[in-house]
Amino acid sequence: MTSRLPRKLNPLLLGSALALGLSLASNAQAEELRIGFIAPVTGIFAQIGKDMTDGFQLYLDQHGGKLGGADVKFIVEDDQGKPDTGVIKAKKLILQDKVNMFIGGLLASTGYALAPVSTAEKTLYISSISSADDLTQRQLDKYPYFARTSWTSSQPEQPLGQWACDQGYKKVVTIAADYAFGYESVGGFQKVFEDCGGKVIQKIWPPLGTKDFGPYIPNIKADADAIFSLMVGPMALQFPKQLRAAGIKKPITAGGTSYDEFVLPFMGDEVIGDVSALHYSAAIETPANEAFVKAYRTKYGKVPSYYSENNYTTAMWLDEAMKQAGGKYPGPEKFIKIMEGIKLDAPRGPVRMDDMRNPIENVYIKKVEKKKMFGYDKAELWNTVIKTYPAVSQFWTYGKEKFLKQPVYSRDFPACKYCE
Amino acid sequence: MTQTMKIVSVAAVLVVLAVIVPHSSSFVVLLTTRAMCFAILAMSVDLLLGFTGLSSMGQAAYFGVGAYLTAILAAKFHFGLGWDFWLVVLMGMAIGAALAALFGLFAIRASGVYFLMITLALGQCVWGLAYRWNSLTGGDNGINVTNRPNFGLDLTNERTFFFLVFAFFAASLILLYILVRSPFGRSLEGIRERELRMQILGYNTWLHKYIAFIIAGAFGGLAGVLWAHTNGLISPETVVLTTSVDSLLMVVLGGAGTLVGAAIGSGIVFALREYLSTLVPWWQYALGGVYVLTILYLPTGLMGFPARLRQIRGASTKNPSKSGDAKKLASAPS
């Protein structure tokens, strides 16, 4: 018996050894999970890139460099905040480093550039920051190896439109960075705000990376009740300062990146009272978030921004998925399937994926306040949550079918009916 | 080194390139393909800078229109993905030449720093169009070219595609070499050295410069067509000022007025920017250092290295042989 069994097994063993030898490339990776991470390390968005990387790294460090039992090889590549460079870096990660998946990309335009790479190279791409709307909407069919753990640009702005309407604002001027992220954010805000009875009376588009808003601020119409601003990176610091210095006291309701914790510590007291919407605030008072904020601050000396949280949660998501996959990367399609079934209790609150591979998550309307939090002894600026819209989907209340019938939010959609 | 020896050594390097690269990792193949696209662009800049003495800061414009034409045709009309790819190549060159013919009318009348400023401004016009003309160019998001042409040869294969770009690169090098060695090329060099004298000799220098400008535009367009399929993403980033400056720096780095230098410069820039950057975080210092050192010690670019070496050796020998120089002068083609 005992001597016959091995003999029976012999051909089987031989066969599998052969198969192993043949597919050496894929089997060499079996024990480790190779993750490529694309973030700006140089250029004007370098600091955001650091937050992104730190967020992911923190989770890895807390879990002994393992996700779901697999050793992680974490390779960071610099895209300099340019979609073009992102593409070549993604190809490098796939061709040279043979990564199982690549994560990251900051700008919405980078997301639109990286998703086709995932299709062409049949490699999983997880967008942990880049919020390009259409990737999980009308274009999803083109990208079977793509999933998102962050948000769509319009996702928090749609509730914000409702909130602004509820405040009794009738006329709003929007000023937003002139690229996909700006168009989609303004579009989401405008659609809901106008469906509720408000009017967007002017749209201003300064280029991405604008440092001087002098030419734009005097043009803001005087009869507006409020200003919707959407700034990215260093732009966020400059705009409120210049706006208030110009003597304009109108309330600001903003896209989340305008007042994110990434810029908040560097802002002056003039921003107190400004309102923004996002799916994360460092000031969410839950034990999960408090623990995250404290761990992050101890390690990196600063309060985590949404860029940090999103990547931390992405790592958490991968961890759970790898656990369910038994510690072995099962290939992109299967992995996405597993990710879709996961419900997380992240620092940002409960998160799960909808059937278009975009998270359903809370959206927080936040007001900048100066106060002490989590036992830190200095009064600082925090994004206090003043209203929570629970479990917001990328389609808001419109429903998937109806929402997908309209074109993607752009510079021209929704049309500015009330602009003169 | 005699002219024949130079040609033979360049041909040998090309053959070595074509043999070795396809056997290296696919990322290296991709990088070399990218570098060769830019080498064509850099050589077109060299035709202006090195041979005609015009420092163009707007070469990205022709590169850009070629690339956008290819991308728009491929993405919106599925045109140029079979045999018609060759038609797109011709169209790309034609549109580059046509745009250069238009811009040349404004730019050629100026010289020196004014020429530089005008070409810069015109180049930025194209960038502005690419950024703003949303319905055609996709604005800031750009256009994704997901399919490569397939005409019997399946160019989706990186190695096959490498050979195609290699062929275009070699052909451009040969064509441009023939051009600069022709009487026309010689008169361009005359203009570079002393335009007034050429005018007195009866040359229509404006027309010469205009034609050179158009030819450079055509090669810029060709580089753009190839780039669209190499990169797979065409966005305003493609036509941004940095692209023009990069191509100019490649020429200066390799050695203006040598053609081969432009290709070498392109290779070095890509190796540092896209390969070294994946290894170390300080690659930008390396790139900057290479530029500074080249300007300081090799003002004629890396191609000037052998000459510089001879110079140093000549200076270290106490008795520089005057007769050798005289002999060289005598044998130099007049």
Strand-pair category, A226-230 with A171-176: parallel
pLDDT of residue B221: 95
pLDDT of residue A180: 87
Helix, strand, coil tally for chain A in percent (to 5): 40, 20, 40
Confidence of residue A273 (pLDDT cuts 50, 70, 90): very high
Confidence of residue A6 (pLDDT cuts 50, 70, 90): very low
Question: Tens digit of pLDDT for each residue in A207-245?
Answer: 888 989 999 999 999 999 999 999 988 899 999 999 999
Report whether A97 contacts A352 (CB < 8 A).
no
Domain definitions of chain B by residue range? 25-269
**Which residue among B140, B232, B281 sits closest to A41, beta carbon to beta carbon?**
B281
Q: How distant is the Cα of B80 from the closest Cα of chain A, in angstroms?
A: 19
Q: Closest Cα partner for A45 from A188, A314, A234?
A: A234
Confidence of residue B172 (pLDDT cuts 50, 70, 90): very high
Chain B hits for A89, Cβ within 8 Å: 278
Residue B319 has pLDDT above 70, yes or no: no
Residue type, B10: V
Interchain contact, B140 vs A178, CB within 8 Å: yes
Confidence of residue B317 (pLDDT cuts 50, 70, 90): low
Q: Which pair of structure tokens corresponds to residue A245? A: 């210095």
Mean pLDDT of the residues in chain B: 87
Confidence of residue B22 (pLDDT cuts 50, 70, 90): confident
Lowest mean pLDDT among A18-32, B6-20, B94-108: A18-32
Q: Which pair of structure tokens corresponds to residue B82? A: 């079979």
Residue B273 DSSP symbol: I
pLDDT of residue B327: 43
Domain definitions of chain A by residue range? 30-153+287-361, 157-285+362-405
Interchain contact, A179 vs B140, CB within 8 Å: yes
Span A402-410, average pLDDT: 92
Report whether B198 contacts B187 (CB < 8 A).
yes
Residue B331 has pLDDT above 80, yes or no: no
Sign of the Cα pseudo-torsion (A192, A198, A201, A207, in order): negative
- A120 shares contact with chain B (CB less than 8 Å): yes
Beta-ladder partners of A230: A176
Q: Which helix (H) or strand (E) holds B144?
A: strand B143-144
Residue of A nearest to B277 (CA): A78
Lowest mean pLDDT among A146-160, A208-222, B126-140, B304-318: B304-318
Span A197-207, average pLDDT: 94
For A157-285+362-405, CATH number out of 3.40.50.2300, 3.30.1330.10, 3.20.20.10, 3.50.50.60 equals 3.40.50.2300
- A90-A91-A97 Cα angle (round to 5): 90
d(CA A272, CA B289): 46
- A78 shares contact with chain B (CB less than 8 Å): yes
Domain A30-153+287-361 in this protein, CATH class: alpha beta
Residue type, B327: K
Interchain contact, B232 vs A87, CB within 8 Å: yes
d(CA A369, CA A258): 15
Residue of B nearest to A95 (CA): B27
Residue B228 has pLDDT above 70, yes or no: yes
3-class SS of residue A409: coil
Please give the CATH architecture assigned to the domain spanning B25-269.
Answer: Orthogonal Bundle (1.10)
Alpha carbons within 13 A on the beta-carbon side of A5? 2
Strand order in the sheet with A101-104: A66-67, A70-78, A32-39, A101-104, A124-127, A146-148
- Mind giving me the DSSP string for A261-313? TTTGGG--GGGTT-EEEES--TT--SHHHHHHHHHHHHHHSS---HHHHHHHH
d(CA A383, CA A400): 31
pLDDT of residue A7: 46
Q: Greater confidence, B143 or B321? A: B143
d(CA A186, CA A56): 29
Residue type, A160: L
d(CA A157, CA A363): 9
From the CB of residue A263, how many other CB atoms can be counted at a distance below 10 Å? 24
Q: Which pair of structure tokens corresponds to residue A110? A: 């980078």
Question: Tens digit of pLDDT for each residue in B46-96?
Answer: 999 989 988 889 899 999 999 999 999 998 888 888 889 999 999 999 999
3-class SS of residue A385: strand
Query: Torsions phi, psi of A71, nearest 5?
Result: -70, 135
Are domains A30-153+287-361 and A157-285+362-405 of this chain identical in fold? yes
Is the bond leading into B306 cis (omega within 30 degrees of zero)? no
Span A375-379, average pLDDT: 90
Question: Tens digit of pLDDT for each residue in A68-96?
Answer: 889 999 999 998 888 888 999 999 999 88
Residue A23 has pLDDT above 80, yes or no: no
Confidence of residue B138 (pLDDT cuts 50, 70, 90): confident
Confidence of residue A317 (pLDDT cuts 50, 70, 90): very high
Question: Tens digit of pLDDT for each residue in A56-72?
Answer: 999 999 999 999 889 99
Binding-face residues of B in 218-257 toward A, CB within 8 A: 231-233, 235, 237-238
Q: How distant is the Cα of B302 from the closest Cα of chain A, in angstroms?
A: 27
Beta-ladder partners of A71: A32, A66
Beta-ladder partners of A363: A389
Alpha carbons within 13 A on the beta-carbon side of A17? 6
d(CA A251, CA A271): 10
Interchain contact, B278 vs A91, CB within 8 Å: no
Which of A88, A93, A123 is best to mutate for the B interface (most B CBs within 10 A)? A88
What ipTM did this prediction achieve?
Answer: 0.78
Q: Which pair of structure tokens corresponds to residue A375? A: 């036992």
User: What's the residue count for chain A?
Assistant: 420
3-class SS of residue B230: helix
d(CA B241, CA A329): 43
Q: Greater confidence, B315 or A176? A: A176
Residue for token pair 């003999």: A7
d(CA B202, CA B186): 15
Which of A38, A112, A117 is best to mutate for the B interface (most B CBs within 10 A)? A112
pLDDT of residue A34: 93
Span B24-37, average pLDDT: 90
Residue of A nearest to B158 (CA): A95
Q: Which pair of structure tokens corresponds to residue B266? A: 């392109």
Beta-ladder partners of A382: A369
Q: Which pair of structure tokens corresponds to residue B192? A: 């570079």
Strand-pair category, A226-230 with B233-234: unpaired
Question: Tens digit of pLDDT for each residue in B229-285?
Answer: 999 889 888 898 889 988 998 998 998 888 899 999 999 999 988 888 888 888 888
